[in-house]
Amino acid sequence: MSKHGEEKYKRKFQSGKIGDLNANSNDSTHQLSIHIRHGHNKFWSESILPLTLCIACPFLVRSIVFICDHSHGSIMEFFSHILFDQTMTLKQVLVNFFYFQWHWPSALIIISFLLYAVIMTMLIPGDEYSGPITDTGHVPVYHNNGFTYYVISLILFALLTVLLKFNNISPTYIYDHWEEFLSTVNTFAFLLCFLVILKGKYMPSTNDHRSSSNWLTDFYRGVELYPRIFNIDIKLITNCRYGMLAWALLSIIFCMKTFELHGYTDSALVSCLLTLVYLTKFFWWESGYMKTMDIIVDRAGFYLCWGCLVWVSGIYTLPSYFLVTHPNKLGLSLTITVLALGFLSIYINYDCDRQKIDVRTANGQCEVWGKQATVIRAKYLLLNGKESESILLASGYWALSRHFHYVPELALAFLWSYPCGFHYILPYFYFIFLCVLLIHRAHRDDQKCRLKYGAVWDKYCQLVRWKIFPGLY
């Protein structure tokens, strides 16, 4: 954005005239970053940081799997391996951690899975629903078939497992070739990101796109907000239909492998069950997810697409992967306690999201926790000059803190890692990552809402003081 553009934007912001979020040339993420980055080095945030993340994240995923497989899950052992192991030359380290492998059996599984996701998404019927209107006036339309897709996929997976058994093949093949598999997904995801960026730059699907002269920024953050190929929504496929389903299936596969190696293991079952119930909830609420920041603010690039294909497969599944080589005995009472607390966390998390959606659907005319909902009506201007209004709920969970739903989300992440025990920190990597992600996300969301609602958001913040943890933060 030019200096003049920035000034114009700042004036709009100061006068509270900032509109809804969009991602075209006067894209809000960009606008937000102008505000946030005040005084920051542009070179750092637009070149060094994206480049570092694009190199470091695949390296990290690869290292974590290496630690599980070759360093007995111990980070200390891993470092001594890298630093002092005479048999490990620098070349081997580089080849091990920075390579883009193409393992054909894995590639076939990945491509078939992706094709399956696309075809089923197109074929399964579902009511039409729309996402929020963008500033360019675009209204993304989807079909509400996520839950059916999830259930059919689980049934097909069970049938396929039985069928493969007759040929002496097991889905645990994926576990046995996990290093090759992840590296192939990584190669595939990088290719896909390049494709999506090129498409966004030269053949955007809608006007909600933003392209800068910096390829690193574009690659990391993406160009298009709602990219479609043959009317297939890329973000719906990568985030939900591939990413979330892969997470569920991988958790089942890792649990199967634990059973295969060690017989019935309560810790693996608890971790897998909690993940599955959580993802069942996700698919039930998928149309709600299509209205969150990932979809309406973040564009399709490395962060989202690579993240959902590789990071989710490698990091989000870590507790169940870890349990294959480090099975634990929980005992009946701990099994029941962890399951009960986990289900409760999933319920509270779902109930928070539901409460917000219900109040908005009822235009504030409904009860929350047995009392008339307390709402703040926040007017805002779209950049096209039209006025719009949103409802901010200030009772129920949404009076406890501004992102109270992150509390059960974190509790759950802890609970499904807990079966791994406390001897190693590695299986808690997802939990630690989530703490950082959600604290940052709460901060990002606050800034987004302050830009959008101006003084009304400040009023809501005065009413609901805490960001995530009531009384703490």
Ligand X SMILES: NC(=O)C1=CN([C@@H]2O[C@H](COP(=O)(O)OP(=O)(O)OC[C@H]3O[C@@H](n4cnc5c(N)ncnc54)[C@H](OP(=O)(O)O)[C@@H]3O)[C@@H](O)[C@H]2O)C=CC1
Ligand Y SMILES: CC(C)CCC[C@@H](C)[C@H]1CC[C@H]2C3=CC=C4C[C@@H](O)CC[C@]4(C)[C@H]3CC[C@]12C
Region of 180-188, 197-205, 244-252, 397-405 interacting with ligand X (CB under 6 A): 397-405
Site string for ligand X, 235-274 (x = CB under 6 A): ----------------------------------------
Q: Is 311 in the site for ligand X (CB under 6 A)?
A: no
Residue among 150, 188, 242, 311 that touches ligand Y (CB under 6 A):
311
Nearer to ligand X, 109 or 279 (CB): 279
Strand, coil or helix: 24: coil
DSSP letter (8 states) at residue 374: P
- Rounded Cα distance between 285 and 289, Å, is 7
Q: Is 430 in the site for ligand Y (CB under 6 A)?
A: no
The pair of structure tokens assigned to 437 is: 């992600």
The residue with its CB nearest to ligand X is 292
Region of 4-12, 114-122, 301-309, 366-374 interacting with ligand Y (CB under 6 A): 301-309
Nearest to 22 by CA among 269, 210, 172, 178: 210
- Rounded Cα distance between 52 and 243, Å, is 23
Instruction: Determine contact, residues 419/278, Cβ cutoff 8 Å.
Output: no
Which partner in ligand X, ligand Y, none is near 353 (CB below 5 to 8 A by kind)?
A: ligand X
Task: Report CA Rg, the chain.
Answer: 23
Number of chain positions touching ligand X (CB under 6 A): 20
Cα 45 to the center of its chain, rounded Å: 21
Region of 84-92, 143-151, 175-183, 391-399 interacting with ligand X (CB under 6 A): 391-399
Complete DSSP assignment for 67-134? HHHHSTT-HHHHHHHHHH-TT--HHHHHHHHH-----HHHHHHHHHHHHHHHHHHHHS---EEE-PPP
Residue among 6, 180, 351, 445 that touches ligand X (CB under 6 A):
445
DSSP letter (8 states) at residue 72: T
Instruction: Determine contact, residues 294/231, Cβ cutoff 8 Å.
Output: no
Nearest to 110 by CA among 229, 237, 197, 222: 237
Least distance to ligand Y, CB of residue 349, Å: 8
Residue among 123, 293, 340, 425 that touches ligand X (CB under 6 A):
293
- Rounded Cα distance between 22 and 3, Å, is 20
Instruction: Determine contact, residues 188/103, Cβ cutoff 8 Å.
Output: no
Instruction: Determine contact, residues 288/390, Cβ cutoff 8 Å.
Output: no
Nearer to ligand Y, 312 or 426 (CB): 312
- Rounded Cα distance between 392 and 210, Å, is 29
Which partner in ligand Y, ligand X, none is near 448 (CB below 5 to 8 A by kind)?
A: ligand X
Nearest to 419 by CA among 428, 409, 407: 428
Q: Is 284 in the site for ligand Y (CB under 6 A)?
A: no
Region of 116-124, 135-143, 326-334, 399-407 interacting with ligand X (CB under 6 A): 399-407
**What are φ and ψ of residue 232, in 5° steps?**
-95, 125
Q: Is 214 in the site for ligand X (CB under 6 A)?
A: no
The residue with its CB nearest to ligand Y is 307
Q: Is 403 in the site for ligand X (CB under 6 A)?
A: yes
Instruction: Determine contact, residues 278/412, Cβ cutoff 8 Å.
Output: yes
Cα 285 to the center of its chain, rounded Å: 14
Residue among 448, 450, 451, 456 that touches ligand X (CB under 6 A):
448
Residue among 242, 303, 418, 453 that touches ligand Y (CB under 6 A):
303
Which partner in ligand Y, ligand X, none is near 117 (CB below 5 to 8 A by kind)?
A: none
Which partner in ligand Y, ligand X, none is near 303 (CB below 5 to 8 A by kind)?
A: ligand Y
Q: Is 78 in the site for ligand Y (CB under 6 A)?
A: no
The pair of structure tokens assigned to 14 is: 């100061």
Q: Is 351 in the site for ligand X (CB under 6 A)?
A: no
Contacts of 43 (CB under 8 A, 6+ apart): none
Residue among 18, 21, 23, 57 that touches ligand Y (CB under 6 A):
57
Least distance to ligand X, CB of residue 355, Å: 9
- Rounded Cα distance between 414 and 248, Å, is 17
Q: Does an H or E element contain 49, and which?
A: helix 49-70
Least distance to ligand Y, CB of residue 412, Å: 10
Site residues for ligand Y per CB under 6 A: 57, 239, 282, 289, 294, 303-304, 307-308, 311-312
Site residues for ligand X per CB under 6 A: 292-293, 349, 353, 356, 390, 392-393, 398, 403, 405-406, 409, 434, 437, 441, 445, 448-449, 452
